[in-house]
Amino acid sequence: MFEIVYRFDPEGRHTPDPPTDAASARKRLEEGNHEFAVLNDPRTSPPGTRRVVRFDADDLGLPNADGSAPKQEPFAAVLGCADARVPTEMVFGQGCNDLFVVRVAGNVLGSECLGSLDYSLTALGASLKLIAVVGHSRCGAVTAAVDAFLEPTKYLAVASSHQLRSVVDRIFVGVRAAQKALEQAWGPSVVTRPGYRMALIETTVGLNAALTAATVRQEFRDQLGPQREVVYGVYDLISRQVGLPVGVPGVSRVNVGLFAPPTDLSGFEQLGVLFASSAITKELLGG
């Protein structure tokens, strides 16, 4: 058993120093995810472990002395999937007013998401140091895109809905890149392997997150710099770690951390092959 406790102590106000640059913001997210991920690990968290997330009542929305609302001061914006199994603040061990969270199925970029991120960069510029795009393993939206790619008749299930179709369509680029990477890593016969569908899904998850992060960086290039960066990662539903899906089964399923996306086509091709040739992918393909 373990507990996650959100605590406000009026006698000992908790006001941690905000990250001063992108590197320190990334480190805080990575450390928060590590503390969350090890909660159920008996080697580091014995039964009865309590994870305490401290915050100020101001951030929770209790009125200030003058009756005004708290100021919005997140240090990072996170574009993540709407999947209910990926609670963003909890995954990164953060409290109220720490993160500006945008969630949409498949962590895809539509005009509303771009508008929300644009707002975070312009209206919250003084505090915001990082934009993180976070995909996750076994993503339902990616699965729908992969299934429609492998069996086009399944596209009919979403074709009549503009809203669903727009999500699936945005993921197709990642699916095609993942297919190409798997064939490059394992040969054209990879499509006959028993776990090809799952390998294509998980390779697409990683590439979709990286492609989205690269698009965000391009869209907002004039608002970024040494003190404000764009990174990405994949949340593994089994290990609860955020990183790249290139780990070793039984050891660590991801290369832990948040990473800058590639800057050119060659970089994306290399990244795709890295995902496609990993030990995790080999396991999914059936050895």
Q: Which residues are annotated as a binding site for Zn(2+)?
A: 81, 83, 136, 139
3-class secondary structure, 140: helix
7 bridge partner residues: 54
Question: 62, 87, 88: which is closest to 8 by C-alpha?
Answer: 62
Burial class (CB in 10 A: 0-12, 13-18, 19+), 169: middle
**Cα–Cα distance, 46 to 48 (Å, whole number):** 6
Cβ contact 26:258 at 8 Å = yes
| Tokens matching residue 59 | 């951030």
Neighbours of 74 (CB within 10 A): 22
Question: 21, 28, 40, 43: which is closest to 93 by C-alpha?
Answer: 28
Going by the annotation, the residues of the binding site are 81, 83, 136, 139
* Residues 6 or more apart in contact with residue 164 via CB below 8 angstroms: 144, 158
